[in-house]
Amino acid sequence: MMYGRYTQELGVYAKEEAARLRESGQRRSVSDRSRTLDLLEYDKGRCAKCRRSGYPYVLEAPAQDFISVCTVRCQKFLISRVGEDWIFLILLGLLMALVSWVVDFCIAICLQAQKWMYGGLDSNVFLQYLAWVTYPVVLITFSAGFTQILAPQAVGSGIPEMKTILRGVVLKEYLTFKTFVAKVIGLTCALGSGMPLGKEGPFVHIASLCAALLSKFMSLFGGIYENESRNIEMLAAACAVGVGCCFAAPIGGVLFSIEVTSTFFAVRNYWRGFFAATFSAFIFRVLAVWNRDEETITALFKTRFRLDFPFDLQELPAFAVIGIASGFGGALFVYLNRLIVQFMRKQKVINKFLMKKRLLYPALVTLVLSTLTFPPGFGQFMAGKLTQKEALVTLLDNRTWAKQGIAEEFDYIGNAQAWRHPQVNVFVTLVLFIVMKFWMSALAITIPVPSGAFMPVFVIGAAFGRLVGESMAAWFPDGINTDGTIYPIVPGGYAVVGAAALSGAVTHTVSTAVIVFELTGQISHILPVMIAVILANAVAQSLQPSLYDSIIRIKKLPYLPELGWGHHEKYNIRVEDIMVRDVRYITLNCCYRDLHNVLLTGQLKTLALVESAESMILLGSIERAQLQSLLSQQLGRARRLQYIRERAVEEKKRLSIVLDPASDDNGSQRTSQEVRFQISTEESSFSPTRPVPHKPLKPALKRPSVVERPTELPTSPHDHSGIALKNLFCSSPDTEALEDDGDVEDDMTIREIAEWEERQLDEQVNFNNCKIDPAPFQLVERTSLHKTHTIFSLLGLDHAYVTSIGRLIGVVSLKELRKAIEGSVTVKGVKVRPPLASFRDSGTSSSENETTELHKLWDRHKSMSLPRESTPSESEEKSQ
Amino acid sequence: MMYGRYTQELGVYAKEEAARLRESGQRRSVSDRSRTLDLLEYDKGRCAKCRRSGYPYVLEAPAQDFISVCTVRCQKFLISRVGEDWIFLILLGLLMALVSWVVDFCIAICLQAQKWMYGGLDSNVFLQYLAWVTYPVVLITFSAGFTQILAPQAVGSGIPEMKTILRGVVLKEYLTFKTFVAKVIGLTCALGSGMPLGKEGPFVHIASLCAALLSKFMSLFGGIYENESRNIEMLAAACAVGVGCCFAAPIGGVLFSIEVTSTFFAVRNYWRGFFAATFSAFIFRVLAVWNRDEETITALFKTRFRLDFPFDLQELPAFAVIGIASGFGGALFVYLNRLIVQFMRKQKVINKFLMKKRLLYPALVTLVLSTLTFPPGFGQFMAGKLTQKEALVTLLDNRTWAKQGIAEEFDYIGNAQAWRHPQVNVFVTLVLFIVMKFWMSALAITIPVPSGAFMPVFVIGAAFGRLVGESMAAWFPDGINTDGTIYPIVPGGYAVVGAAALSGAVTHTVSTAVIVFELTGQISHILPVMIAVILANAVAQSLQPSLYDSIIRIKKLPYLPELGWGHHEKYNIRVEDIMVRDVRYITLNCCYRDLHNVLLTGQLKTLALVESAESMILLGSIERAQLQSLLSQQLGRARRLQYIRERAVEEKKRLSIVLDPASDDNGSQRTSQEVRFQISTEESSFSPTRPVPHKPLKPALKRPSVVERPTELPTSPHDHSGIALKNLFCSSPDTEALEDDGDVEDDMTIREIAEWEERQLDEQVNFNNCKIDPAPFQLVERTSLHKTHTIFSLLGLDHAYVTSIGRLIGVVSLKELRKAIEGSVTVKGVKVRPPLASFRDSGTSSSENETTELHKLWDRHKSMSLPRESTPSESEEKSQ
Domain ranges of chain A: 86-291, 313-358+383-402+416-555, 564-647+749-826
DSSP letter, residue A451? -
**Cβ of A824 under 8 Å from any chain B Cβ?**
no
| Residues lower than pLDDT 50 in chain A | 1-15, 17-19, 21-61, 404-412, 565-566, 663-742, 824-880
List pLDDT tens digits, range B402-450. 664 444 444 445 666 777 777 777 888 889 999 999 999 999 988 889 9
Tell the CATH superfamily of the B313-358+383-402+416-555 domain: Clc chloride channel (1.10.3080.10)
Residue B522's DSSP bridge partners are: A522
Give pLDDT, residue B97. Answer: 92
Q: Say whether A513 and B251 touch across the interface (CB within 8 A).
A: yes
Ramachandran class of A524: left when φ > 0, alpha when ψ lies in -120 to 50, beta otherwise? alpha
d(CA A47, CA A545): 56
d(CA A505, CA A499): 10
> ipTM of this model?
0.71
Give pLDDT, residue A858. Answer: 34
d(CA B233, CA B549): 22
Query: B362 versus A383: which is more confidently predicted?
Result: B362
Give pLDDT, residue A106. Answer: 92
Which candidate from B18, B297, B829 shows the least CB-CB separation from A22? B829
pLDDT band (50, 70, 90) for residue B199: confident
Give pLDDT, residue B529. Answer: 92
Give pLDDT, residue B80. Answer: 61
Say if residues B142 and B188 touch (Cβ distance below 8 Å).
no
A6 interaction partners in chain B (CB closer than 8 Å): 780, 782-784
**Cβ of B572 under 8 Å from any chain A Cβ?**
yes
Residue B810 confidence (pLDDT) above 70? yes
C-alpha of A191 from chain center: 23
Say if residues A512 and A524 touch (Cβ distance below 8 Å).
no
d(CA A159, CA A165): 10
d(CA B339, CA B337): 5
Q: Which residues contact A73 (CB under 8 A, 6 or more apart)?
A: A53, A56
d(CA A647, CA A657): 15
DSSP letter, residue A4? T
Q: Say whether B313 and A295 touch across the interface (CB within 8 A).
A: no
d(CA B392, CA B380): 17
d(CA B172, CA B176): 7
Which candidate from B10, B304, B774 shows the least CB-CB separation from A806? B774
Compute φ and ψ for A71, nearest 5 degrees. Answer: -65, -40
Helix (H) or strand (E) holding B804: strand B799-804
Give pLDDT, residue B613. Answer: 78
Q: Which residue of A has its CA nearest to B529?
A: A278
> Which of A215, A530, A786, A807 is best to mutate for the B interface (most B CBs within 10 A)?
A530
Query: B510 versus A53: which is more confidently predicted?
Result: B510
Same topology for domains A86-291 and A564-647+749-826, yes or no? no
**Cβ of B294 under 8 Å from any chain A Cβ?**
no
**Cβ of B523 under 8 Å from any chain A Cβ?**
yes
C-alpha of B70 from chain center: 45
* Fold topology of A86-291: Clc chloride channel (1.10.3080)
Give CA separation, B374 vs A699, B412, B430, B746, in Å. Answer: 88, 21, 17, 77
Q: What is the mean pLDDT of residues B359-380?
A: 87
List pLDDT tens digits, range B794-805. 777 778 888 776
**Radius of gyration for the alpha carbons in chain A, expressed in angstroms and rounded:** 33
DSSP letter, residue A858? -
The CATH number that domain A564-647+749-826 falls under is: 3.10.580.10
A22 interaction partners in chain B (CB closer than 8 Å): 828-830
Give pLDDT, residue B171. Answer: 75
Tell me the shortest Cα–Cα distance from B509 to chain A, in angstroms: 8
Q: Is the pTM higher than 0.80?
A: no
Average pLDDT of chain B, as a whole number = 72
List pLDDT tens digits, range B258-296. 888 887 777 777 888 888 898 998 888 888 888 877 777
d(CA A520, CA A532): 17
> Which of B30, B278, B542, B809 is best to mutate for the A interface (most A CBs within 10 A)?
B278
Of B272, B10, B238, B40, the C-alpha closest to A569 is B10
Tell me the shortest Cα–Cα distance from A226 to chain B, in angstroms: 11
Say if residues A35 and A21 touch (Cβ distance below 8 Å).
yes
**Cβ of B84 under 8 Å from any chain A Cβ?**
yes
Q: Say whether B259 and A266 touch across the interface (CB within 8 A).
A: no
Which candidate from A17, A289, A521 shows the least CB-CB separation from B524? A521
d(CA B519, CA B702): 54
d(CA A764, CA B210): 63
Give pLDDT, residue B773. Answer: 72
d(CA B291, CA A565): 35
For B124-136, the DSSP string reads -HHHHHHHHHHHH
d(CA B865, CA B863): 7
> Which of B261, B527, B788 is best to mutate for the A interface (most A CBs within 10 A)?
B527
Q: Which residues contact B401 (CB under 8 A, 6 or more apart)?
A: B407, B410, B416, B419, B426, B466, B470, B491
The total number of residues written for chain B in this structure: 880
Q: Say whether A274 and B791 touch across the interface (CB within 8 A).
A: no
B481 interaction partners in chain A (CB closer than 8 Å): 295-296
For B490-510, the DSSP string reads -HHHHHHHHHHHHHHHHHT-S
A773 interaction partners in chain B (CB closer than 8 Å): 780
**Cβ of B504 under 8 Å from any chain A Cβ?**
no
**Cβ of A224 under 8 Å from any chain B Cβ?**
yes
Q: Which residue of A has its CA nearest to B610?
A: A806
Say if residues B285 and A284 touch (Cβ distance below 8 Å).
no
Task: For the sheet with A778-779, list strands across it.
Answer: A778-779, A799-804, A807-813
d(CA A847, CA A819): 9
Number of Cα atoms under 13 Å in the Cβ half of residue B734: 4
Say if residues B159 and B547 touch (Cβ distance below 8 Å).
no
Compute φ and ψ for A720, nearest 5 degrees. Answer: -115, 20
The dihedral sign for the CA sequence A138, A140, A141, A142:
positive
List pLDDT tens digits, range B749-760. 778 778 887 777
Give pLDDT, residue B405. Answer: 42
> Which of B296, B509, B573, B586 is best to mutate for the A interface (most A CBs within 10 A)?
B296
Give pLDDT, residue A775. Answer: 67
Q: Which residues contact A826 (CB under 8 A, 6 or more apart)?
A: A832
